[in-house]
Structure formats: structure tokens, C-alpha cells
Amino acid sequence: MSRPVVIACAMAEEAQPFLEALEPDASVEVPVLPAGFRGPADFRGGILQGHPVVIATTGIGMTNAALAAAVVASQLRPRAVVFAGTTGGLGANVHLGDVVVSEYALYHDADATAFGYAPGQIPQMPEKYPADPWLRATASGALRAKGLAFHTGTISASNSFVDGAQVEPVRARFRDVLAVDMETAAGAQVCWSFSIPWVSLRAISDLCDPNAGEVFDQSAPSAAATSFAAVESLLGSPPRRLHP
């Protein structure tokens, strides 16, 4: 069995469409967590669109995302990591249900500018983390062929849910950011550290406005289904492989 593709979702509701479509296959290796492990990470292996995959439900927040990514990176050396699920729309032209294909990921709450670093840059780390160009281009072509609305650009993360009180400072400082979440940048940093190709295919579940929480509750299931369709399209793209 070849190395798997890891599909990382923060919440069980985001992972559910993938788990329902997953063909069980005991030959797909999943990480082994040590006795006494108390994190929320959960890993399920199987076949999706002909590919061995591991569905990683990481838990919400950057530390949980990084923890799960480090586990799969060190134990599985996956062919690729695809971050899936929901995201808040920050860009002026994004709409509910649109898919955002990541070009870069950064931290919009990181600020070491006093030491000469760029806004969003962790000291001694890259200013932002690039998604794999091959995965990004293949995903964009697959979404275009499927007729799904999508945008390609920068995504950002923090440990705060961005709503009306926070959105304008983030928009003012990061004008090229299309969407925000609480996990992807942390997972992308781990992938960068391990030289593992990654891409994010999250769907817009709210528009980071004063009603973002309420809208998220209503739209999250639909956005999760759209993200699943986007990832499924990527996996099913000809040629039926993901990254050498």
C-alpha cells in the first residue's frame, strides 16, 4: 500500500462526509497514539476515490491542528495533506459556499514587527507558508471542471473566531487574505517543516460579520459538504494520483 493522503478536519461535523464515503481498508496505516494520550486527535484509514487516505479529525485550534499534523508527518510521511472543512470569508468577493484554494497560509495574530519581522510572521520562520503548486493547480482545475465556485489566495489563522469585532483590523493589515480559520496555518507550518505537500480546500461558512456565529451554525453543514465535494474532485482528477 502506497503512502496515504491525509485529509485534516478540525471538527467531527467536517469529517463526517469523508467518513461516510470512506471504504474501510485495514491495510491503510493510521498513526498509533501512545497510552495516556489526551488530545482530541482521531485517525481513520480507508480508500477514497481509489486513494489510500487517512481522515484526521484534529480538534479545534492551532495547537490541536499542529499536534495532529506532527503525528501524521512523523509516523506516516503522507504523500500530501489536504485541509478541509469550513472557513470564514474575509475577502470582499467571497460568498457563502465558495471554496477557497490556498496559495499561502499565515498567522494574522502573529506580531513580531518590533524585531523587524513582517506582520503574521513567526520569528525565524517564513513570512508565510506556500501551498504545493501542483496540488493547488490540480485542485483549481478539478473545481472548475465540476462547476464549483472557488477563489485562490491567502488564508490565515488564529486561535480566535473572527467576527464583527475583529474583522476590520485583520482586513486592514492583511488585504490579500481571503479567508480565516483556526487551524490551517499551524498545520501548514508543520507540513513545511517536514517538506510534505499541502493544500487547503475549505468552504465559506460565514462572512466574519457581527452575525458570524449564528450564520456559521446554519451554514456549516452545507459548507462541509462543499469542501468534501472539492476534495473528492481533487482525488478523482486525472491522472488518478496525488503528487509523486
> What is residue 143's predicted lDDT score, i.e. its pLDDT?
97
> What is residue 244's predicted lDDT score, i.e. its pLDDT?
54
> What is residue 49's predicted lDDT score, i.e. its pLDDT?
95
> What is residue 210's predicted lDDT score, i.e. its pLDDT?
87
Contact 208, 180 (CB under 8 A): yes
> What is residue 1's predicted lDDT score, i.e. its pLDDT?
62
Strands 80-89 and 198-206, sheet pairing = parallel
> What is residue 69's predicted lDDT score, i.e. its pLDDT?
97
> What is residue 72's predicted lDDT score, i.e. its pLDDT?
97
> What is residue 229's predicted lDDT score, i.e. its pLDDT?
98
Distance in Å from the first CA to the final CA of the chain: 15
Q: Which listed residue (111, 206, 209, 214) is catalytic?
A: 206
217 is catalytic: no
Inter-helix orientation angle 184-194/62-76, to 10° = 30
> What is residue 93's predicted lDDT score, i.e. its pLDDT?
92
- For the chain, residues with pLDDT lower than 70 are 1, 239-244
Q: Which listed residue (13, 14, 168, 232) is catalytic?
A: 14
Residue 1: C-alpha distances to residues 5, 50, 83 (Å): 12, 12, 22
Closest CA to 182 of 98, 104, 96, 87: 87
> What is residue 241's predicted lDDT score, i.e. its pLDDT?
63
> What is residue 203's predicted lDDT score, i.e. its pLDDT?
98
29 is catalytic: no
Helix (H) and strand (E) counts in the chain: 6, 10
Closest CA to 155 of 126, 193, 116, 120: 120
